[in-house]
Structure 1
């Protein structure tokens, strides 16, 4: 059920962005809001890891693989977002210049 909620929120955000419903002030601040939301999410994930004593106890065992997996996940997520964002924004600029 949670995955449907995530997808619904994602689609709702895409519709709001596509229809340009938000004010210009908010649209100018969206990058900062996204960064702060990501930092908050990472902070909460850190709290959850700290609460789980088994994770702390066996961190040496799973630590190396976790660090490698997390590093690759972060790096490739950032690259994917930059690639997709570049393509999407590039396409929008081309449409504006054609008219």
Structure 2
């Protein structure tokens, strides 16, 4: 049910944005509003984590898993970009040779 609410709100926002219902003064501040909203969300998440004693006691394990996941994500992202970009560059060279 929650995901449908989120999608509905997203669609309403997209509709309002596409129809130019917002004033230019507000549009110029959208970035600041997003940043403040994100900071508020992070603060609330931090409070919720701080209140959960189970999470506090398992921070070492969670931290280790997080580091492993972050490093693996970075390494495989770099490898993926290198693989795809080398394939694209190789195809560009082949196309360039045909001309």
The gaps in structure 1 that reach 5 residues or longer are: 77-99
Listed as ranges, the matches of 1:81-96 within 5 Å are none
**4+ long deviations beyond 3 Å:** 67-72
Query: Corresponding residue for 1:48?
Result: 48
- Please report the TM-score for the alignment, with normalisation by the length of structure 1: 0.66
User: For 1:47-91, what per-residue CA distance to the aligned partner results, in whole angstroms no more than 9, with x for missing partners?
Assistant: 11101000000111111223555796xxx9xxxxxxxxxxxxxxx
The gaps in structure 2 that reach 5 residues or longer are: 78-99
Greater CA radius of gyration, 1 or 2? 2
User: For 1:15-71, what per-residue CA distance to the aligned partner results, in whole angstroms no more than 9, with x for missing partners?
Assistant: 011111001110000000000000000001101110100000011111122355579
Q: Does 1:63 align with 2:63?
A: yes
Q: RMSD between aligned alpha carbons? A: 2.1
Name the count of aligned residue pairs.
73
CA distance change for structure 1 residues 11 and 66 in 2, over 3 Å: closer, same or farther? same
More moved, 63-72 vs 44-53: 63-72
Query: Corresponding residue for 1:30?
Result: 30
- Please report the TM-score for the alignment, with normalisation by the length of structure 2: 0.66
**What CA distance in whole angstroms lies between the structure 2 residues aligned with 1:6 and 1:41?**
15
**What CA distance in whole angstroms lies between the structure 1 residues aligned with 2:70 and 2:10?**
23
